[in-house]
């Protein structure tokens, strides 16, 4: 079994972790900052391959973001249509209430003025 050299760098090119001559083992890495990290077995990847992998990850992230935005847009459109329908029903209800109130006022005032003998 051969040995490998493991290097982890951030997007600024700073080496965060390096392990020389590793033959076996497990590896875990936790960071507090959101950043793009490159993990590479140095003997296996060329700089162009590392850049291509970074671009592949970036394009995958963009595709995922677009899918998320499309889902959010659909949810927002459904909410907007529901709100528009409720506003329409409320407007119709308000118009009927106002027409009913205006009709009641006309009859009430006519009866009032007849009782006061101001109109026939």
Over residues 66-100, the pLDDT tens digits come to 999 999 999 999 999 999 999 999 999 999 999 99
Structurally, how many domains does the chain consist of? 1
The predicted pLDDT at position 38 comes to 52
pLDDT at 116: 87
In a domain, 23, yes or no: yes
The residue among 62, 66, 58 whose CA lies nearest residue 36 is 58
* 6 domain residue, yes or no: yes
The segments of the chain whose pLDDT lies below 70 read 1-4, 11, 27-45
Question: Is 9 inside any structural domain?
Answer: yes
Query: Is 106 a member of any domain?
Result: no
Q: Is residue 40 part of a domain?
A: yes
Report in angstroms the alpha-carbon separations of 52 from 5, 45, 46, 57, 73: 20, 10, 10, 9, 31
């Amino acid at each position: 079994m051969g040995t490998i050299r493991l290097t982890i760098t951030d997007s600024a090119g700073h080496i965060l972790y390096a392990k020389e001559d590793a033959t076996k083992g497990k590896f875990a890495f936790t960071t507090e900052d959101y950043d793009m990290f490159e993990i590479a077995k140095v003997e296996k990847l060329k700089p162009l391959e590392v850049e291509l992998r970074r671009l592949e990850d970036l394009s995958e992230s963009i595709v995922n973001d677009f899918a998320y935005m499309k889902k959010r847009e659909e949810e927002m459109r459904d909410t907007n249509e529901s709100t528009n329908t409720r506003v329409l029903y409320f407007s119709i209800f308000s118009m009927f209430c106002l027409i009913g109130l205006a009709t009641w006022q006309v009859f009430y005032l006519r009866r009032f003025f007849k009782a006061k003998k101001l109109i026939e």
